[in-house]
Amino acid sequence: MTRIMVVGASGVLGKLVCDELLRIFNNELNLVITDYKTERGKKLARSFNNEVEFRYLDVNSEECVMKVIKDIDIVIVVIKQQNPNIQNVCITRCIICIDVTPFFDFVGKVKRLEQNELKNGVCSIVMSGFFPGLSGLMIKKVATDFDDITEINVGLLQNTNAKAGLSGILDMLKIISHPVYNNDNIVAGFTKKRKLMFLGYDIEHEVRLIEHAEKNHFYEEFKTRNINYWTSWNNEISNALISLLRKIGVLDRVQKFNENKLLANLVKHNPNKNEHAYLSVEVKGIINKQTCVKTLAVATFSDYYTTAMVTATLAKIVQNKEIKGVVLPSDITNFDEIIAKMNCPDITFKEINRLV
């Protein structure tokens, strides 16, 4: 059976990834989890009905990573690394690596390892998840019929009740705080506004422009620099507050604290309320000499859970393919395949086409 290791399994996302791996593989896998806290890791391993192996792992120690990551087919990384130590070991030992990290600087470090990946005939999948990840698959699906593309817009409507955990919240705040490189101009993140259509909403919803690493992957493929990523929350007060905090520099200070108890208290998840999230991709261009706009809109019960489902499904897909180098999910599969293999009725989508 396939042996899969989840690094960072004790976190909110890590636990979901473990659950989804067991579901999607129908329990026909050997699951190994890691943690730098031994007792916590052992307790998590015992909590699963299946036999799950625990290994102590300190991702900041190259020696520890080299010692622990072995006799594994796929490693899934749901924890931040300063340097791609795990990817380095996976290359050496010809292990497939899947990483959910959405940040451009870390992805760049992984890409610098690509020659070694190609030489050893192994792959590293980066930016796995909902946003990025599924968003890239949606772009590829919508863009297929266009003869020429002039504009791509990707929008995420988040839920203030999302069960993201503190690290997930800090990740999004980091993305929002980053300056946006927009059509040769630099603008502050989360300031420029527009409206997008989201599934389940009768009217378009306002979103704000952000910088996102995934768009760099599509610049060359679609021969346009007009690729924009947008986000907002489903609460206008929250959007206004976050915009104000960014403007006065508070978001930058928040990210410098490793343990921000105030932030954790402000964003507590209420299990009695929904955490629905919405993702839309709008592509504008030419089809058969006519200007068209095509939109693919996805609605899900949870963006974090969907990230776990996409990541676990990619593990299922990649085990049967010969992939080499550093790739994104959209390089190895397509939207229809991953939706089918996730097999989740709580994720719905709709395509809308119109002439301009």
pLDDT digits (tens, 9 = 90+) for 58-100: 999 999 999 999 999 999 999 999 999 999 999 999 999 999 9
173 pLDDT more than 50: yes
Go through the domains of the chain in sequence order and give each one's CATH number. Answer: 2-126 (3.40.50.720), 134-303+345-355 (3.30.360.10)
pLDDT at 259: 45
β-sheet bridge partners, residue 298: 279, 349
Strand (E) or helix (H) holding 286: strand 277-287
CA–CA dist 260, 152 (Å, integer):
36
Question: What pLDDT is stored for residue 107 in this prediction?
Answer: 94
- The strand order across the sheet containing 205-210 reads 193-196, 205-210, 227-233, 148-158, 277-287, 290-300, 348-355
Residue 166 reports pLDDT greater than 70:
no
Tokens of 127: 């930016």
Q: Measured between alpha carbons, how far is 317 from 57 in angstroms, rounded to an integer?
A: 26
Mean pLDDT of the chain: 92
Tens digits of residue pLDDT in 125-156: 999 999 999 999 999 999 999 999 999 999 99
Look at residues 198, 187, 168 and name the one whose alpha carbon lies nearest to residue 16: 168
The answer to whether residue 101 scores a pLDDT higher than 80 is yes
